[in-house]
Structure 1
Amino acid sequence: MAATFHVRSNSFPSRQHPQAAHVEEQLCRLRSSEAVSTSSSSSICQRLNGLQDLHDSLEKLLRLPFTEQTLDKKAVEHLLDGSLRILDFCNISKDALSQIKEGLNEIQSILRRKRGDLSSQIKKYLASRRSLKKSFQKVLKGLKVNGDESLAVFGEAEDLTISTFQSVFSFVSESSTPSGKWSLVSKLINQKRVASEAQATNEFAELDSAFQSFIEKKSQKSLEMEDVKKLETCVQDLEEGIDSLFKSLMKYRVSLLNTLSH
């Protein structure tokens, strides 16, 4: 039988616990944000920050006595598996962004010193980008939301987190088509995004295009340091958002393990 979790305690039959109500409000804000926002670096960073706050709140909710009494072993093990998978997504994202930033630093070094083989370094960067895109495509094919409504707020938080990482992987790899088996909610959300995403700025795609034009001599405009720094700032923002979420997920996971041991 599927594990169930109700955010109302048996001790509070007529009203919701304040912490549970706070979690519901955060979930509502994240649902609304995901439904209307574009896949831009700023909107993704906002969702990452929102997910960090959500998992901080879920960690507090887990420490409440009525929550520990309500979540059974099967439910906690399910959530632990999900949290581990999301931590893997964090590491995949951080490794990819670190690799991109390293390539950008090499290019900036040549631009700053005004010596070195810029074309060769750009070709190396673009080859690395193509390799990352293939890796992300493999991840996206196996990426799917939990879809287990019996886990209530914890399951929905997991779904929203996975959906956000789908946006991260798609944005960095310039792919806007979701892969894998998605829940009806995720499909509807994606449909609402399609029109607005066409207008969203993708800093990764912009610089890739500028680099490609430079290599193919299609543009007379010389590369400027500002062109590269724009993407570097975007990468830094994404790194900070993912790192903060990672730390919150670790604390959340510790509380899940504590719940399992009680």
Structure 2
Amino acid sequence: MTEQLISLRTSEEASTSSSICKRLDNIQALHESLDKLICLPVTQKALAQEQNKKSVEQLLDGSLRILDLCNISKDALSQMKEGLLEIQSILRRKHYLASRISLKKTFQKVLKSLKVKQEHECNDESLVLFGEAEAITMSLFDSLFCFMSGSMNFGKWSMVSKLMSQKKV
């Protein structure tokens, strides 16, 4: 245990992340040793002696201060984690918005090309059906691209989830 104390004292100067992690490991090992020490009969006898009452109370106060510091550290780390998650969310939204703008431009170009009507002169009824199917398909894609580019407002994201869950496109 004295080796652990010496090691911790000599490493107090360094404050790099790896040295702090090492110090935390050493502190953990130190406290595990203290747990074993407190269970020894000699230590129990010393803690129970009236002449050591003031020292024991000071040690207990120190332990409470350490617990307070642990709680403060835990809260601070939790706040830092929340902040990092918030930053990640902002970055994802920023990336998402940039991709939405790019997609919107692409969809607008596609929509322009869909607006161009192709005239089909067909006398055969079966070929007219192909022309009508093409027109209906173009109309569907027109609606889809308008929706995806944000030009039309359908019911929230339910349309997107329905489209994504369908197996056939």
TM-score for both structures, normalised by structure 2: 0.50
Bigger-Rg structure (1/2): 2
Report 1 or 2 for greater relative contact order, CA contacts < 8 Å, sequence distance ≥ 6.
Answer: 1
- Comparing both structures, which one devotes a greater share of its residues to helix? 2
